[in-house]
A and B are shown apart, each in its own frame.
Chain A
Amino acid sequence: MKKNAKTQKGKATRMRNSKRLAKIRSQIPYWVMLLIPLAFFLLVRYWPMYGLAIAFQDYKIGDPFISSESRWAGFKWFQTLFRNPNFPRLVRNTLAINILSILISFPISIAFALLLNEIRFKKLRNLTANISLLPYFISTVVIVAIIYSVFSVDDGLVNMVIQKLGGKKINFLAESKWFRPLYIGSGIWQNTGFNAVVFTAAISGIDPNLYEAAALDGSTRLKNIFHITIPCILPTIIIMLLLRIGNIMTVGYEKIILMYTPSTYEVADVLSTYAYRAGLENQKYSLSAAISLINSVVNVVLLVSANKATKKLSGSSLW
């Protein structure tokens, strides 16, 4: 009797063990597939995060990020940064360029989506949508190159026109008051079509019965835009706006680096571009890492708050 029970118990454990083994074995393919992706995230994304430790050191190129020989410097570089007379300018520009871009380009992309929706010929509507997307596929370098050519002080189109009209030449690329209009304007030219895609999709999801009912009530198309279309896509508008705000710290420095000149630093230099110059042009690696760290932390705070706000307003979160 007893012996019998024991063997049965043994059988059960063996069964359980083999089941567990099979379960573990079933997991192996997943980890094999993840080998390369995880190596990538670990080496190229996480290792640099660990490297932010150099923001608290007097780091020399070639040293490991953290070792027994690391010369720790506490918050020295953060203090250096805060005491830098240009620091307020960096913060001001970072915020100003991004907030201005949002204030101007965001409503324009909504307006463009509304406009597209009002084009009655389907062919013309699709053609307009497709052409407006085209600039999105042109590289930042080419866009800045076009700006440099067309607005050049010597032989650019704009200055030739100004001269023909009897005006005085303007050095658009060296005068600080022209930097932001050119930066934001070219951004609108490049991205409006792309940014409008989301809104176009939201508009196409609106129940057509709403418009028919409104038409019976004698409403005009202009009124419909404000009383039906905009209220219906409001959730999408809010989500996109919050997403954009959450990204304030990260957007656009690749283009700024191409566009600015020392004479326009006054209005163009932002935290990321300063981090780039400090690190790669002046070899102040620790200072540059300190700026990146601040940038990243502010960004996380903004994104998390944006997500909370979205959750509260729309019941769905971004992630």
Chain B
Amino acid sequence: MVYKKTLGDRIFDAIIYVLVAIILIVTLYPLFYVFSMAISNPVAAARGEVWLYPVGLDFTAVKKVLSDSQVLTYYGNTIWYTVVGTFCGVITTALCAYPLSRKEFLGRNFVTKFVMVTMFFNGGIIPTYIVVTRFLHLYNSRWAIVVVMLTTAWYVMITKSFFESLPDELIESARMDGASEYRIFGQLILPLSKPILAVLTLYMVVGHWNSYFDAMLYITDKSKQPLALYIRAVVIQNRLASAMSETVSLTAEEILSALQIKYAVIIVSVLPMLVIYPFISKNLEKGLMIGAVKG
């Protein structure tokens, strides 16, 4: 497209760039502010002198958060939930989607409907809570989180439509060569399905890393709780002392930096996301499209 640049065009462009600048500032400023607060001099932070860039670098708060052994436990738990939950989730989703994508599978329609129903109707908080804690006996078990968040009908459906888009001839010829259905799935379909597996992984990693609700319901044992519940206790419910482990007692100086501890906790939890974000953002939009528009 070649436009002749008229005065009107220039004004239009100028307005666009101003708007873009405003949007970028609004998006990034809160994160930048939190970051600056966490690493500024405690006195400056408490007096409200920090509003954009860090004033008088001081990493005490971040160090304190990272040196608290309990924070590391929470951190480790979140990593455990994310890795194990995503691994089990992706496998289960693929195992469910593959038979549903094959026309030769006689139970296809029935099972598809069976899965779809769960998209529209669910038992709600309490019946699910009773099933998980009383009948499956998963109260305070790490597996409660993995099992409850295993997969969703939506993930199964987008994976199924990806499998359906693979050429039938491939599977036919593999079958002619005498490959079993398991081998076709494991050695032919899965390697060809890296895009959808990547999308599933992305969704599930983000979902697990960010989830707090199921952990709040099922995990009361602090040694198994994820980082999100620690943030909730420290920042939202303002229970700093009780959430920190007993060994850390607060002196006057440390109370001054209590304000910063909140910001430091936030930074410590979002940093991994911010670090990997530039790497995933390249292919992000393409991946999100697969999820956003079905089929």
Contacts and interface: CB of A to CB of B under 8 A. Distances in A.
Interface in B222-269: 228, 231-232, 235-236, 259, 262-263, 265-266, 269
B169 interface: no
Contact of B213 (A26, A201, A254): A254
A245 interface: no
Chain A interface: which size bin?
A: 35 or more
Interface stretch (B22-30, B62-70, B192-200): B22-30
Given A34-B99, A145-B262, A279 B126 contact: yes
A197 interface: yes
Interface stretch (A9-17, A262-270, A289-297): A289-297
A110 interface: no
B124 A296 contact: yes
Contacts of B273: 137-138
B43 interface: no
Contacts of B1: 208, 211-212, 215
A165 interface: no
A208 B96 CA distance: 41
Contacts of B209: 139
B148 interface: yes
A106 interface: no
B16 A44 contact: no
Contacts of B107: 27, 30-31
A42 to B, nearest CB: 9
Interface string B116-129: 10111111111111
B27 A299 contact: no
B8 A220 contact: yes
Contacts of A72: none
A36 to B, nearest CB: 6
Interface string B1-32: 10100001100110011011001101110110
Interface string B176-194: 0000111001000000000
Q: Output the residue of A34, A137, A279, A300 with the most chain B CB within 10 A.
A: A137
A62 B134 contact: yes
A38 B123 CA distance: 17
Nearest to A301: B120
Interface of B is mostly: helix
Interface in B97-136: 98-99, 102, 104-107, 111, 114-116, 118-132, 134-136
Interface in A23-70: 26-27, 29-34, 36-38, 40-41, 43-52, 54, 61-62, 65
B235 A49 contact: no
A133 interface: yes
B23 A132 contact: yes
B118 A46 contact: yes
Contacts of A197: 285, 288-289, 292
A144 B265 CA distance: 13
Contact of A36 (B92, B131, B148, B181): B92
Interface in A298-319: 299-300, 303-304, 318-319
A134 B27 contact: yes
Contacts of A170: none
B134 A48 contact: no
Contacts of A130: 281, 284-285
Contact of A30 (B27, B30, B181): B181
A92 B269 CA distance: 35
Given A130-B281, A212-B1, A40 B92 contact: yes
Given A46-B118, A141-B236, A145-B235, A29 B92 contact: no
A292 B281 contact: no
Interface string A125-146: 0001111111101111110111
Given A49-B127, A319-B116, 15 more contacts: A31-B99, A33-B95, A33-B96, A36-B95, A132-B27, A133-B285, A141-B232, A142-B231, A142-B270, A146-B266, A149-B262, A157-B51, A161-B51, A189-B27, A198-B292
Interface of B: 1, 3, 8-9, 12-13, 16-17, 19-20, 23-24, 26-28, 30-31, 33-34, 37, 46, 48, 51, 92-93, 95-96, 98-99, 102, 104-107, 111, 114-116, 118-132, 134-136, 147-148, 150-151, 156-157, 180-182, 185, 206, 209-213, 217, 228, 231-232, 235-236, 259, 262-263, 265-266, 269-270, 273-274, 277, 281, 284-285, 288-289, 292-294
27 contacts: A30-B99, A31-B107, A40-B151, A41-B115, A46-B118, A47-B127, A48-B122, A49-B123, A51-B127, A120-B13, A129-B285, A137-B206, A137-B210, A138-B210, A138-B273, A141-B212, A145-B231, A198-B293, A220-B9, A220-B12, A221-B9, A275-B124, A279-B126, A292-B124, A293-B124, A299-B120, A303-B120
